[in-house]
């Protein structure tokens, strides 16, 4: 079994028995897609909601609106079927006090819009609040373990 680490503005696709882990989810959001039939999982760690303008020469994994499409393409390339994909998301915290809508809120909102546009159902989420998270996605069963400091761990 391998534990594949997904960095900020990055993504990976894997199958059993591998796990996909991402750290430092503050306002960032991780999107975990899973094909339960073929047991293929993918994880993207996005930093910002939207890539405005031309993205050529830019890291498309940085933005929710471009990263999710790329993750779907990567999973299909590995044998997954779009029809079988479901999503779990984590992160999107409001790390700083502000009267405005936080970047975390905007990230979660855009992720949800993109998944809805692509007709991928969100089956679980752990988003918002004001604390960071680590996410560990198990490709064996599609479970997502969300770890936090001082708030315990949960499996969604």
Instruction: Report yes or no: 63 and 150 within 8 Å, Cβ to Cβ.
Output: no
Separation between Cα atoms, residue 81 and residue 69, nearest integer Å: 14
Which residues participate in catalysis according to the annotation?
Answer: 28
Separation between Cα atoms, residue 90 and residue 68, nearest integer Å: 14
Tokens, residue 144: 């997502």
Tokens, residue 66: 């471009």
First to last CA, the chain: 21
Residues 6+ apart with CB under 8 A from 126: 89, 90, 133, 144, 146, 154, 156
Enter the DSSP assignment of 2. Answer: -
Strand-pair category, 133-138 with 85-91: unpaired
């Amino acid at each position: 079994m391998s534990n594949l680490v997904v960095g900020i503005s990055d993504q990976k696709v894997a199958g059993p028995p591998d796990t996909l882990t991402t750290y430092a989810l503050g306002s960032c959001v991780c999107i975990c897609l899973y094909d339960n039939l073929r047991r293929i999982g993918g994880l993207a760690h996005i930093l910002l909601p939207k890539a405005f303008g031309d993205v050529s020469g830019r890291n498309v994994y940085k933005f929710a609106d471009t990263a999710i499409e790329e993750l779907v393409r990567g999973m299909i390339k590995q044998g997954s079927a779009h029809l079988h994909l479901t999503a779990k998301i984590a992160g999107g915290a409001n790390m700083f006090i502000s009267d405005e809508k936080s970047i975390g809120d905007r990230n979660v909102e855009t992720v949800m819009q993109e998944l809805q546009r692509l007709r991928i159902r969100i089956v679980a989420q752990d988003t918002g609040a004001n604390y960071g998270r680590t996410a560990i996605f198990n490709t064996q069963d599609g479970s997502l373990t969300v770890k936090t400091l001082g708030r315990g761990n949960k499996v969604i």
